[in-house]
Amino acid sequence: MTRALVALVGCLGCALALAAGASGGRPNAADLESEFVCPVCETTLDQSNAPIAQRMKAFIRARIAAGDDEEQIKDALVAEFGPGVVAKPPGGGFGLLAWLLPLVAVAGGAVVIGLLILIWSRRRPPPSGPEEELDPRLERLVDDELARLDS
């Protein structure tokens, strides 16, 4: 009896998870608008008010209403406007360079700054010439003044 109850609860949990996953698979217009760039003003669709951006937003909403999934909508927009319409670069090939180059630049800058700090911290002033000896009369006056201040 206990095993049957555990199995039933497990099946219900799986069914709920599948139902939640299925409803979560439907694309969201706001999310898609932030993933595409207006070809005119080169800002994301959610920030652009250009006529072409308005048409692209209407296209996205129409395709969602027609039941297309996210990939189908993305493929249609890329086919229509080219790969430059996607806001984030692809993960492979030349797009990988677009992801890695800023990271390499920041890391390289940090290394350069670290080396400069190391070099500057190890810099010492050039040694001065030999110290001149104090005049014995002046040295005696300084000692007298120091003795007077101590007492």
The CA-CA-CA angle for residues 27, 31, 34, to 5°, reads: 140
CA–CA distance, 10 with 16 (Å, rounded to integer): 10
Asked if residue 126 is part of any domain, the answer here is no
Q: How far is CA 86 from the centre of its chain?
A: 18
pLDDT of residue 110: 97
Domain that holds residue 32: 25-85
* Assigned token pair, 135: 């005049």
Q: What is the pLDDT along the chain (151 residues), one digit of tens a residue?
A: 555 444 444 544 555 445 444 445 678 888 888 888 888 888 888 888 889 889 999 999 998 999 888 889 989 988 988 888 888 766 666 767 777 889 999 999 999 999 999 998 888 776 666 677 778 899 899 899 999 998 7
Asked if residue 142 is part of any domain, the answer here is no
Asked if residue 30 is part of any domain, the answer here is yes
For residues 56 and 94, membership in a common domain is answered with no
Could you give the residue ranges of the DSSP H alpha helices within 1-151? Answer: 2-24, 29-33, 51-66, 70-81, 94-122, 136-150
For residues 111 and 93, membership in a common domain is answered with yes
For residues 35 and 65, membership in a common domain is answered with yes
For residues 51 and 78, membership in a common domain is answered with yes
pLDDT of residue 40: 87
Count of structural domains within the chain: 2
For residues 29 and 80, membership in a common domain is answered with yes
